[in-house]
Amino acid sequence: MGEFDQVPFGNVDFADNPSQRVPCVLVLDTSVSMRGEKIDNLNEGLVTFANELQADGMAAKSADIAIVTFGPVEVFQDFVTADEFFPVTLTTQSNTPMGEAILKAIDLCRNRKDDYKAAGIAYYRPWIFMITDGAPTDDVTAAKAAIQNGEKQREFSFYAVGVEGADMNALQDLSTREALTLKGMSFREMFSWLSSSLSLVSRSQVGEEVPLVDPTGPQGWATFGS
């Protein structure tokens, strides 16, 4: 997987940039309850995320970003490296089909890993990072099972962040990791932490466990639970 020069590149993007990749799918709630201050701050946070990744030369080439929005569920941004990630403003609509969105994100990760393997690109375990202010309006049984299996098999790392109004019990029931509650409207701080974390991972060896800054610390952007 790490021998870049022994496998033909099947993708122009990979041929131009053979850096090892840190895939991250943002699963973002764009239901009507996010209207107003929440969606505005989310959009500002995405700009911070893009700017900080692009300011880091290694992360700009290694971080691979995709966005799945819900609802309705849509691949708002397919995978691009951070140097090509320029956020388009999100708007709110519809309900909260969280389960479907999670399954879509998992499929994106699996397909992207297949692309890496075909092109001989080394990659780190994908991140799936979900942000929501509500509760699922669809059946999440399959999504919960997929998260548990994916975490057990080390296929990806799933993080759930609840914004004010989120059903934290539902988020905790979904996730094998402890769900995080955003402090107020600290979207910029959250995305700054995420960009820093991806930058740290991009500088490690593939398969290495990287210690991350605790987001629930005194200067952090989150708390545990409700």
What domains appear along the chain, each with residue ranges and CATH number? 21-126+152-205+220-224 (3.40.50.410)
What is each CA distance from 207 to 19, 35, 112, 135, in whole angstroms? 15, 39, 17, 34
Determine if the peptide bond prior to 72 is cis (ω within 30°): yes
Q: Which pLDDT belongs to residue 90? A: 97
Give every residue of the chain whose pLDDT is below 50, as ranges.
1-12
Q: What is the pTM (predicted TM-score) of this model?
A: 0.92
DSSP state of 21: B
- What pLDDT is recorded for position 11? 47
For residue 206, the model assigns a pLDDT of: 79
Long-range contacts of 213-221 (CB under 8 A, 24+ apart): 215/180, 215/190, 216/180, 220/183, 220/189, 220/193, 221/182, 221/183, 221/186, 221/189, 221/190, 221/193
pLDDT at 226: 61
